[in-house]
Structure 1
């Protein structure tokens, strides 16, 4: 019993620490989102601001879904980098589409629609990952601010993803599954109690019969 209590206490401490990490990452992302809206609203127009805000909303939905449903067990840990990579590529494609839609200048690009989209995706991806080769660089101050926002979004994405996925590795059933695990534990305990009571009642019924036979 003492060892079980110690294990439960350690588990609560670990879960509390992981929850705090995710809360801090979420707070950082919220502050970044507010700054993004302000900067884009100042440098461009309301429609571009709404587009970036919509991307932030989609990102938040993604994080909530991952927190509730992503489960990693044993050798399934490869799911973590896969999900992170897919999310990074998806949002790079989405942001690139927004940049093209609002004619954000990222520097000299090759002519042609397919090539243009590829160049914008390339620029967005290397900016999000903080690589910055410098072959594509905005010249206008307003476009440079947008590039900085994309870079900050990429940093926030990495921070949130690392905090969230780290919790999945250390607690495979996810923070949102703790209640479910407690319910399962209670159900198992109740089933064990019922079994013990049934055995006890059966023993009580058998005992008088044995005593009567002896008499």
Structure 2
């Protein structure tokens, strides 16, 4: 049975026109190019410019995605922090590869990043955990992320227990810390008129050199 498409949804479209992207506009290194675009998103006050979709694949071969917050990026990769026992943590244990997507709607831009994922070292996880607000640290202890729970009240009780036990100095739980994605593919997408969007793709070759190419929209 063919499902009828709601015309009010099917007719939704925007003709992008704010900017263009040429090979000459982009840096030779995709991390430098990402830094340029990220700074522009911050200056434009794009809401939660540090939010990114993280896609992983489970042991059953099925993908899943969720929004997480990037906490650092540099020549080594893209870093975020989470519960290792969460669904994404289990996925990455089975398949240590991920895909990130930044979507800055106000600038008509997307950035896609793919690559291998590894845990950061304990000292880096400790440093970031201790920089978080106290309530966030206690929440990381109280919540068994992605596990079922019978009620909100039980979650609040677990938080109260952690607060009573650790006070203002909760230690980083061993199940919580950082991941870093080491990119081998980065694509920059700039919306253009008539759906003839600009797409510049960087791929890492066997000599660890970045190859830059234009993709058709």
TM band (smaller chain): under 0.3
Question: In proportion to residue count, which structure has more strand?
Answer: 2
Q: TM-score, normalised by structure 2?
A: 0.27
More helix by share: 1
- Rg larger in structure: 1
What's the TM-score, normalizing by structure 1?
0.27
